[in-house]
Structure 1
Amino acid sequence: MNTLTYCNLNASKLVVFCLSLVIFTGCGNVLNDVENLSSYPATGTFDDAATTNAYLSNLYYSTLNGWPVNSGNNADESGGINGEGWITTENTAMKFWPYDAIRKINILLKELPNSPIPADKKDPIIGQAKFLRAFLYFKMVYYHGGVPIIEVPQEVTDDLLVKRNSTAECFDFILKELDEAAALLPPKYDGADRGRIDQASTYAFKGRVLLYKASPQFNSANPYDNAYWSDAYNANKAAKDFLDQHGYGLLDDYTQVFETEGHRENILSVIFEEPAKTNGRQEHAVRPLSESKNATGGDQPIWAFAEAFPMKDGKKPGDPTSEYTYSIQRFWENRDPRFDAIMVWNGATYELSGIAGRRQYTMNVIAKSMDVFGFSIQGETAYRTGLFTRKGIQEALPSAQAELNDVDWPEIRYAEVLFNYAEAANETGRSDESLEVLKAIRRRAGITEGADGLFGLKANMSRAEMRQAILDEKRIEFAFEGQRFWDLRRHRMLHLLDGMHKYGIMATAVNGRTPQNLTADDIAKGNAFELLPEDFTYEVVELITNGPKEMVMPESYYFFPIQLTHINQNSNLEQNVGWGGNFNPEL
């Protein structure tokens, strides 16, 4: 039984223990995030391998989450619109301050070295805890810049009015933690230990950290020629080489990445397994409402995202050199095969709830009312984009059981390491290596190679063109995996989102007939899934919503503010520049 999926470890007494870990601290005071500093695990907790592993499982649970539903709303993937006031110093949007979880990790790292548990059992636990602490600090740093580094469990007698460490000091700490973790971990966990942090995940994550450190987000004065890019290249090349040596790589079928588990592409997986741990994908919130329960609207692709997919030969839609013609009226035809793997459009086959031959409709009268573009639900106008996603969805689940989805979340997968390596290679004068990565990604996707062997990519790209090609490719490859917004942000490209209006694709007629003059037979055919996508007429329409129409992404969003509550409770915490303070979050 996987200790990272189940807390009980086949021992009922540990169920109680593990539940107690969830509640033994609250939110509010160590760095304004721990309510009771006197709380501490019971004596003997770390004297036994089973209870220590249960404690560790709780740390995994509080650190690594599931699929980031609706993160595409922040960017140009899905339909939500973040207008004026999305982020303020007072609200909780884009704030990350997990010192409660860090204190729990610090307790383990303080107590476990003195445990009688044998070193060969103890050291890997310490290594995993150090990785988790680095993971939390890294997220705080790319949210806020430098934060206070706390390495011991603070007590009520300690000085809690700590200052922020510099961003450089935080990166040094994170990288030290990862190096120390790797020294204590085995190269690769699998089998019953699948999902545990190992050297493979540590090296891959170190590459991610160094990519951010080199990025324009932290180096606005010298975004692409700073010395950190060499560190990022070396780390990501080393990670790729290590992964290749230990059997990792791209799967042959893109769809199988998200529909199978325990495969060679997932480096660090968050394990979901029905009935013990489910709904990491939050499928009930992503499905069309007609085949869901309690929620819908998540991860609805916008038209700009649909247009971003190339044709099957890798050329952009409408490119006169493409062997495929493109028309909005047949926008789904001859596209990059990932389009079919990710997108669901009006009339497309989408066999939810195991309904054989089921087609998804979005046109008024033909579709079930709750799936219609712009349909008003309970008085509010909930946006519909005319598109849904099938990525990570377990289509056979009945609607009443949509929350039982147990697809694993790939926190780190091999394709990300390739993209990180490609970015760093390009910025260090190795664009030929970057090109090989893009070709490998497109080959796996099913894009045709072409006579020139470039899979539709431009020959002899400049450094800037290659940079953009990498970002464009990653946008598609990692659709709805929570990467797009952060990629634009670390490249200081939020101006591409600022002022953006979002659009969907609306079916306006079927065989020339509008909703006003459709016959009962037309409607019956729709309900019987006989109408095909090409039977409809389409129009690009701005999303219908009662909320804001325009995205707002000011320069200040490159570093988010620390929540005012924490600032008010700790006079030594400086606020970021751009948010009323003087702290410089860059390197």
Structure 2
Amino acid sequence: MMAIFSSCSKVLNDVDDLSRYPTEGTFEDPLTATAYLNNLYARSLSGWPVNNGTYSDESKGIIGDGAITTDNGTMKYWPYAAVRSINIFLKEMSKSTIPAAQKDPMIGQAKFLRAFLYFKMVYYHGGVPIIEIPQELTDDLKVKRNSTAECFNFIIKDLDEAAKVLPAKYTDNDRGRIDQAIVKSFKGRVLLYKASPQFNPTNPYGNAYWQDAYTVNRDAKDFLDLNGYGLLEDFKKLFETKGHKENVFSVIYVNPAKTNGRGEDGIRPLSESKNATGNDEPIWAMAEAFPMKDGKKPGDPSSAYSYNLQNYWKNRDPRFDATMVWNGELYELSGIKGRRQYTMAGIAKSMDAFGFVIQGENFSRTGFYTRKGIMEELPSAQVTLNDVDWPEIRYAEVLFNYAEAANEIGKPAEALAVLKAIRHRAGIEPGIDGMYGLKVGMSREEIRTALLDEKYVEFMFEGKRFWDLRRHRLLHKLDGMHKYGLMATAVNGRTVEEITADDILKANRFELLPEHFTYKVVELITNGPKAMVMPESYYFFPIQLSNINQNPNLEQNKNWGGNFDPTLH
């Protein structure tokens, strides 16, 4: 495979044959043009971000020293093959004889997909070369990177042009296609990043981009409200039903045509799965992040609910029950009524137990599993038939984006209204003061932290946490972090060595409850590096060296051996 470069309007591509072009007539027939566009969707969008929490404080695994280098492919994003295909589509559709009423919305969808790809490149690497037409072998392919500011302008231009030709909302068989609701919501995400400390380290919260982010996100929220979107009343049903009002932008999965975007076969405990396990296992820090039912932090003296290690699961934020699975908890996988998940060695199925190492990993089970996005009714033999949609954008994210920007421009009441709405939907008690456990009179900084803390819980394993910390330049919270799990060390006072046949019989009958066990917080890493390493250089990842070697005009980022400044200053 060769990598090729171009000018400001023509850029790097990873294709085997740049002369390859779609068959003549492809873009004159609505059916074949639609098929080409559908392929662009498939190449541009992915499913659930499994194990993204490894990079943060959500799930197990340590990101150690040297995990990201200029040589390896870790945290690199360079999708110019897909960009070229989108540009082919845009070029050919611009002169297609398909009626404008049909082709214009297709052009709008393609422009969104191009903006989507460019935005990901920008928040990974900063400014990248901009391409707007398909490059040819005769072009000058060795070009420089565009500035980050130019790339943001390009992304926003594509989104604005897309919104002009798209319907307000696609429904029924067209659900999942790009519409105005998606474009407006995504533009809010883009502008939130543009305003963020990641891109503005010298003026992180006082720059003028925050006003732009507020205006666009408020307008997106208002547009969604007018078009029937909103918070789904029951958080538990978010990932159990399709096409509901909270999912603004869904990557659609349908059994048997397209399945297992969630990767359920690697997330379930192995006793009710096949081939793999160990993905998206919550760590103790993730469990502790959930507040109590009254919205107070666990152990907060002002909470109405007592808390200690031995009954940590009691009286928690209802989202804890909806997404976490712990030792002795009901988890009716494979349709097994009354099934409880055990994690204590000697009681659990051996491959599910804390401390069990399958193939010499440097870590073990965490003592927790997740039910988010899992189809519990599937038998283990059919576990890969999971067809839960991936919610790339849900209404809750738009609310958070709006609240963040509101807080930074001096509108704390609007930000607090969002926090209350999210907590109300979660089922947290409002309290006498109607604050849902939130502190009265919070400062701008305290509201900022409260929003990040709430997202940590609300979007567990939805690929937000690491990028939120990075966006706010808070990776120091992860740097040096050790990861812990929760081990059940005894059942009814008996240790692993003292377990009786009656204990095992009760486990087989699912009669052992969480309160029958004794618990201990234990560090997960058994050998090798134990601390997370998150240096300053990770605020922008490097361009992969193989790409630079093929085009010396591609300048490397600062902190990675080059002079390119990926910030907006």
Same fold per TM (> 0.5)?
A: yes
1:493-524 per-position Cα deviation (integer Å, ceiling 9, x unaligned): 00000000000000000010001111111112
SS of alignment partner, residue 247 of structure 1:
coil
The Cα offsets for residues 337-389 of structure 1, whole Å up to 9 and x where unpaired, read as: 00000100000000001111100000010000001111122444542100000
Cα pair 2:4 2:142 within 8 Å, conserved? no
Contact 2:53–2:466 (8 Å) recurs in 1: yes
Q: Partner residue of 1:28?
A: 3
Asked whether 1:230 is paired with 2:211, we answer: yes
What is the distance in 2 between the residues matched to 1:224 and 1:29?
39
| Alignment partners' CA distance in 1, 2:427 and 2:373 | 19
Aligned match for 2:67, one of 86, 89, 109: 86
- Note the C-alpha offset of 1:39: 0.7
| 1:548 counterpart (525, 529, 534) | 529
Shift of 1:311: 0.2
Q: Is the 8 A contact 1:367 1:527 kept in 2?
A: no
% same residue: 72
Structure 1 position 492 matched with structure 2 position 473: yes
How far apart in 1 are the matches of 2:49 and 2:165? 30
SS class of match (1:539): strand
Question: What residue is the counterpart of 1:118 in the other structure?
Answer: 99
1:138 is aligned to: 119
For 2:488, what is the secondary structure of its paired residue? strand
Q: 1:251 — aligned with what?
A: 232
CA distance in 2, matches of 1:325, 1:167: 50
1:114-171 C-alpha deviation (Å, 9 max, x unpaired): 1110000000000000000000000000000000001000000001101100000000
Matches within 5 A, 1:11-160: 28-30=3-5, 31-160=12-141
State the 1:406 CA deviation: 0.1
Question: TM-score if structure 1 supplies the norm length?
Answer: 0.95
- The residue matched to 1:212 in structure 2 has which SS? helix
CA contact (8 A) 1:89 1:564 kept: yes
Kept in 1, the 8 Å contact 2:61–2:363? The answer is: no
Tell me how far apart the structure 2 counterparts of residues 383 and 29 of structure 1 sit (CA, whole Å): 43
Counterpart position of 1:360: 341
Return the alpha-carbon distance in structure 2 between the equivalents of residues 331 and 199 of structure 1: 44
1:337 is the counterpart of 2:318: yes
- Give how far 1:393 is off: 0.2
CA distance in 1, matches of 2:37, 2:361: 44
Change (3 A) 1:423 1:27: farther
Of 409, 418, 422, which residue of structure 2 is paired with 1:428? 409
* Residue 407 (structure 1) aligned with residue 407 (structure 2): no
1:384 touches 1:544 (CA, 8 Å); kept in 2?
no
Cα distance change, pair 390–163 in 1 and its aligned pair in 2 (3 A): same
Partners of 2:347 and 2:451 lie apart in 1 by 40
Moved more, 522-531 or 107-116: 522-531
Shift of 1:183: 0.3
Q: Deviations over 1:50-69 (max 9, x none)?
A: 00000000000011111111
Query: In 1, are the aligned partners of 2:407 and 2:444 still within 8 Å (CA)?
Result: yes
Structure 1 stretch displaced more, 382-391 or 469-478: 382-391
Residue type matched to 2:334 in 1? S
C-alpha separation in 1, matches of 2:418 and 2:363? 40
Matches within 5 A, 1:420-499: 420-499=401-480
Q: Deviations over 1:259-316 (max 9, x none)?
A: 1011110111000000000000000011011111111101100001100100000001
* CA pair 108-455 structure 1, distance change in 2 beyond 3 A: same
CA distance in 1, matches of 2:124, 2:437: 36
2:531 aligned with 1:536: no
| Equivalent residues of 2:296, 2:303 under 8 A apart | yes
Distance 1:280 1:107 in 2: 28
Opposite residue 387 of structure 2, the aligned amino acid is D
Distance in 1, matches of 2:526 and 2:39, equals 40
CA distance, structure 1, for counterparts of residue 259 and residue 134 of structure 2: 32
What TM-score, normalized by structure 2, do the two folds share? 0.98
Contact 2:400 2:418 in 1 (8 A): yes
Structure-1 residue corresponding to 2:293: 312
Aligned AA for 1:359? Answer: R
- 1:34 CA drift (Å): 2.0
Q: Is the 8 A contact 1:29 1:35 kept in 2?
A: no
For residue 29 of structure 1, report the CA deviation from its aligned partner. 3.1
Distance between the aligned counterparts of 1:314 and 1:320, measured in 2?
12
Query: How far apart, in 2, do the equivalents of 1:391 and 1:242 lie?
Result: 28
Counterpart Cα distance in 2 of 1:27 and 1:359: 52
- The residue matched to 1:507 in structure 2 has which SS? strand
CA distance in 2, matches of 1:381, 1:234: 47
Q: Which runs of 5+ in 2 are unaligned?
A: 6-11
Count, aligned residues: 562
Contact 1:374 1:381 in 2 (8 A): no
Moved more, 26-35 or 421-430: 26-35
Structure 1 distance, partners of 2:268, 2:2, is 33
Structure 1 pair 225–381 and aligned structure 2 pair: CA distance change class (3 A): closer
What is the aligned partner in structure 1 of residue 9 from structure 2?
Answer: none
Hey, what's the Cα distance between the residues in 2 that align with 1:378 and 1:233? 49
Give me the whole-angstrom Cα distance separating, in 2, the residues matched to 1:427 and 1:218.
15
RMSD of equivalent CA atoms: 0.9
Question: Which one of 266, 271, 276 corresponds to residue 295 of structure 1?
Answer: 276
Query: Which moves more between the two structures, 207-216 or 29-38?
Result: 29-38
The aligned amino acid for 1:253 is D
SS of the equivalent of 1:33 reads strand
Match runs of 1:344-423 below 5 Å: 344-380=325-361, 382-423=363-404
**Secondary structure, in 3 states, of the residue corresponding to 1:165?**
coil
1:520-561 Cα distance to aligned partner (Å, 9 max, x none):
111121122110000000000000444421100000000000
Q: 1:314, 1:457 within 8 Å by CA — same for their partners in 2?
A: yes
Q: Is 2:322–2:371's contact at 8 Å kept on the other side of the alignment?
A: yes
Tell me whether 1:184 sits opposite 2:159 in the alignment: no
SS at structure 2 position matched to 1:251: coil
Residue 250 of structure 2 aligns with which residue?
269
Structure 2 Cα separation of the partners of residues 381 and 394 of structure 1? 29
Alpha-carbon displacement from aligned partner over 1:70-123 (angstroms, at most 9, x marks no partner): 000100000011101110000000000000000000000000011110000000
Cα distance in 1 for partners of 2:83, 2:435 equals 47
CA distance in 1, matches of 2:528, 2:418: 41
